[in-house]
Chains A and B, each alone.
Chain A
Amino acid sequence: MSKPSDLVQGTLDLLILRVLALESMHGWAIAQRIRQMSNEELRVGQGSLYPALHKLEQNGWIDAKWGESENNRRAKYYSLTRAGRKALQAETVQWERLSAAIALVIRPT
């Protein structure tokens, strides 16, 4: 199991943006979705999720709206903005380059 501190800095932002690219959802759901999508490998530190969300909102990459959750509770829903979509693309490219480079180093052929 991977602990949140093991996540490379900035990776959490990328994961959030990726998850929100599918549909808008609230904080708890985002954490669940990341876990599911990573086959239970990545468990987002629930505490660090919210500061990250608020920072992304401040950056203008995601937008927040209050709405009804699936069990009829008021919840804050986040969705990707246009700027966020662009950022996601850029970050993804960046990430792929980085992980490829790391892979080259640790598994030289």
Chain B
Amino acid sequence: MRWIRVLRLRLRSLLRARQVEQELDEELGHHMQRQIEAHLAAGMSPEEARRTALLEFGGIEQRKEECRDARGLVFVEGVWQDLGYALRTLTKSRAFTTVAVLSIGLGIGANTAIFTFVNAALLKPLPYPQAERIVALQERMPESGTTTLVHPVSFVEWHERARSFEALAIGQPLPVNTDGADGAEMISGFWSTAGLFRVFGVAPALGRAFAEEESRPGAAQVVVLSDGYWRRRFGADFRVVGRTIRMGGSQATVVGVMPPGFRVGTLNTDVYYPLPLDRSKPEAVGSRSFQCYGRLRLGVSLDAARAEMTLIADEIGHEIRAEKGWRVQVSDLRDALVRDSRPALLLLLGVVVFVLLIACANLAGLLLTRSVGRRSELALRASLGASRFRLVQQLVVESLVLAGMGGALGLLLGAAASRGLVFLAKDAVEFGQMADVRLDVSVVAFTVALSVLTAILFGLVPAWQVSRFNLQAALAEHGRGGGDSRGQHRVRAAIMTSEIALAVVLLAGSGLLLRTFANLLQVKLGFEPEQVLTMKLFLTDDAPRRANLVESILERVETLPGVRAVGTIQFLPLSGWTNNGPFYFVGRPKPTDPMNMASDVSTVSRGYFEAMGIQLVRGRSFDLRDRMQSPRVAVVNQAFVDRYSPQQDPLGQVILGDWANPRPTEIVGIVGDIRHNGLTTEPRPTVFLAQAQVPGYITFVVVRTSSDLQGMAAAVRREIQQVDPSQALTAVQSMRQYVSAALARPRLYAVLLGGFAALALVLSAVGLYGLMAYAVSQRTREIGIRMALGARGPVVLRSILAQGVRLAVIGLATGTLCAMAMSRLLTALLYDVSPNDPLTYVGATVVLGGVALAAAFVPARRASRVDPILALRYE
């Protein structure tokens, strides 16, 4: 029971300090009064009685302090003392403190910055109720296993058969032409079945969602607004429900407004509107181009849903021959959203952990050096009665103070850096919660935890050394200035080699990514992105009108001064979109498996190849001869020829493809290959169809100009408005911007890894220099003796350098081996460079070897010039 009472008392003096203090006053006051009364009774005058009592007591304040001492928690007080002591000593050695705090600050800052991303992308819950029950569904091609978006036919089948889902919906982002504040405006829409809102579990904040029967052909047009569009367009007017807005050629009634922050996956959507899905004819709304989301029934696991969908895919494959072999991929929504960015984030997290490790090694080295220098101070304290525990406690507190200051700096740096990163990464990483990249409680908690962890990591070594040190030896060594002990030497060597090894790994990794980036810059695109302006149109009318509209636009834009060529294409190169479908040559035997003969398909207008700067290899490109009624013609690319018609001349051959509005189509031209599907993707066989014959909906206007792009954009916009005032334009960008966006992720890797490697290089250079300089200063006396005995400067220099070089070689070798083992993780991110690229490794080794040598050379040179007399008196 005693310990309970003791604990209660201690807690009381800690937590109710004021009451305890009052009681102390009262207790001592009572004593004084009694004493004075006693003196009065003995016949003293009041004044005298008071004075005597005070004298007898001997300084009330000191006594109080003693009582507090007796009460106070000894440990807490000790820590308090150590804290003050640490702050005093750290302010005294300003250079050491600055280097230490900067090292930790940079290390922790880098981690904080990357963690804000990891937190937002991978850790924060998605903004939906019970988000863990939401899944994304995709289709997987037979054989290749490539995942594709979902076909409406598949969706209808799944919807009827699957029991795992409470709700299932498909939809696709589809722009909407509407009227804005100043004329026609194109807004982003999401065209989906009614289940969408139940899947995500979010109801409109105002009004209602659209109902099942409104998602059928022929239903009255309705629309649900996003919070952002409602505020922007309607000034957050609560009476918006029931009003109508123009959507393309018709009017739609606003039935609801979604709450702020609602989004489907990563999309920024202005309006949600129903997809008129006819269950008996689902293919009428499109093909494999729909996103599909489902909400699992309560108690149904992801695996159970996967198993059911596998069975259903088998059934469908059995019933519908064309669907044979297709599979369904069911993934957790978050997995689906971050699939692309997860490896990037984890790589970066790994990199910054390396930086932090280097910072820790740095600190451990610095503290070790310092603690050895402070041996006599510690020995003195020990001989005055400080326990070993107390000494270790003092060092630990000191490490914590350093880590605390470093952590605070790191938090500031990290906050600033993460803002910079959002900017840097905005084209490269997309995970829908980009807005959530900011400091929050978990980030701060992470930083604090990291600071404590680093303090433990780098503070352990010196503390361990002190806990082992021999008081007598330490006192005896004082003033002798001998070299340090074997144990210390070994610890220091370990720190130096690991620092070098860590830096080699980072340097080699960043070298590989920099070479990848350089290689990507050299990729032959196959088109000329300079001086090319692009913009997006969304055509809504019937086919002849769409064809005519594009033709009128081309006619007008062609005549603008400064325009060298103009054309249109459905999906721009490097925009991440493409169509694909099977085909066959008319007159040749049909392939047994239609997917064996498939080609990318793109609809382009006359003038497109000239405008994009794509080389015409043979034959002709599209021109005014190609009309809606004229015989169908196509242009194919070189990859198509190489793959499907290497022997026979493709010109004049007729193909029939399974794509929109199929007719026998004659190949009339061959163009050069371009990197359409990404910089690192080899060109795929592609068939270009004529916009004038099979006009699409989404259409990009491509203008090659000799004048200023901005001015040209305005001029083109004016011409288009003249043709059709209700036609909105978006995505006005230069082709150069698309190329640059395609380079965004490799550039991010190169910049970040390069930056972190540079940081690591600086940190390790500082650390190595510090350790070497210290090692040399420890040997000053020895050097003095050797020189007094006749050793010459260069000999001394060489012997010291040899010590550094030996360590450097071990570190470089270890680092190179580690880097080669770890570079395999990078393989997916590399282009045209082997993970074992010799040039990169040699480069990293040379750079770091140079740094290590310089770090050893400066102190060695200083030592070799030392005056023997001074050296002998040293210390």
Contact = CB atoms under 8 A, between A and B. Distances in A.
B70 A81 contact: no
A52 to B, nearest CB: 8
B339 interface: no
B445 interface: no
B67 interface: yes
Contacts of A91: none
B27 interface: yes
Contacts of B66: 47-48, 50-51
B805 to A, nearest CB: 60
Contacts of B28: 50
B59 to A, nearest CB: 7
Given A27-B27, A60-B2, A50 B67 contact: yes
Given A51-B63, A52-B70, A54-B71, 4 more contacts: A45-B58, A47-B57, A57-B9, A75-B27
A18 interface: no
A69 B56 CA distance: 22
Nearest to A63: B5
B873 interface: no
Contacts, number: 71
B6 A69 contact: no
Leading 7 A-B pairs by shortest Cβ distance: A51-B66, A55-B70, A54-B70, A47-B58, A60-B2, A28-B34, A47-B63
Contacts of A73: 30, 33
A51 B58 contact: no
A52 B35 CA distance: 19
A11 interface: no
B771 to A, nearest CB: 46
B663 interface: no
Contacts of A76: 23, 26-27, 30
Nearest to A27: B31
Contacts of A58: 6, 9-10, 70-71
Contacts of B9: 57-58, 60
Interface string B4-34: 0110011000000000000100111011011
Nearest to A61: B2
A82 to B, nearest CB: 8
B744 to A, nearest CB: 65
Contacts of A54: 67, 70-71
Contacts of A47: 57-59, 62-63, 66
Contacts of A7: none
Contacts of A48: 63, 66
Contact of B35 (A28, A55, A66, A69): A28
Contacts of B27: 26-27, 50, 75-76
B3 interface: yes
A63 B23 CA distance: 15
A48 B57 CA distance: 8
B48 interface: no
A46 interface: yes
Nearest to B7: A60
B71 A46 contact: no
Contacts of A69: 30
A90 interface: no
A74 interface: yes
A46 B33 CA distance: 13
Main secondary structure of the interface of B (DSSP, over half): helix
B56 A46 contact: yes
Given A58-B10, A60-B5, A51 B35 contact: no
Interface string A55-81: 101111001001001000111100001
Contact of A59 (B6, B23, B58, B62): B6
Contact of A28 (B30, B67, B69): B30
Nearest to B4: A60
Interface string A15-28: 00000000000111
Given A47-B58, A58-B70, A75 B63 contact: no
Contacts of B31: 26-28, 46, 50
Contact of A60 (B6, B26, B56, B59): B6
Contact of A51 (B3, B33, B67): B67
Interface in B743-780: none
A83 interface: yes
B30 A26 contact: yes
Interface in B39-93: 56-59, 62-63, 66-67, 69-71
A16 B62 CA distance: 21
Nearest to B10: A58
A58 B70 CA distance: 7
Contacts of B67: 50-51, 54
Nearest to B71: A54
Nearest to B72: A58
A50 B26 CA distance: 12
17 contacts: A26-B30, A27-B31, A28-B35, A46-B31, A46-B58, A47-B62, A48-B66, A50-B31, A51-B70, A54-B70, A54-B71, A58-B71, A60-B5, A73-B30, A73-B33, A75-B30, A76-B30
Contacts of B26: 74, 76
Contacts of A66: 23
B685 to A, nearest CB: 87
Nearest to A86: B2
A50 B63 contact: yes
A37 to B, nearest CB: 17
A46 B62 CA distance: 12
A58 B35 CA distance: 26
Given A54-B67, A63-B5, A46 B57 contact: yes
A52 B66 CA distance: 9
Nearest to B20: A54
A79 to B, nearest CB: 13
Contacts of B23: 66, 76
Interface in A72-109: 73-76, 81-83
Contacts of A59: 6
B410 to A, nearest CB: 40
Contacts of B33: 73
A81 B2 contact: yes
A66 to B, nearest CB: 8
A53 B58 CA distance: 17
A83 B2 contact: yes
Most chain B CB within a 10 A radius of its CB, from A50, A69, A82: A50
Contacts of B6: 58-60
A31 B28 CA distance: 13
A58 to B, nearest CB: 6
B10 to A, nearest CB: 7
Interface string A35-49: 000000000011110
Nearest to B26: A74
B182 to A, nearest CB: 79
Interface in B195-248: none
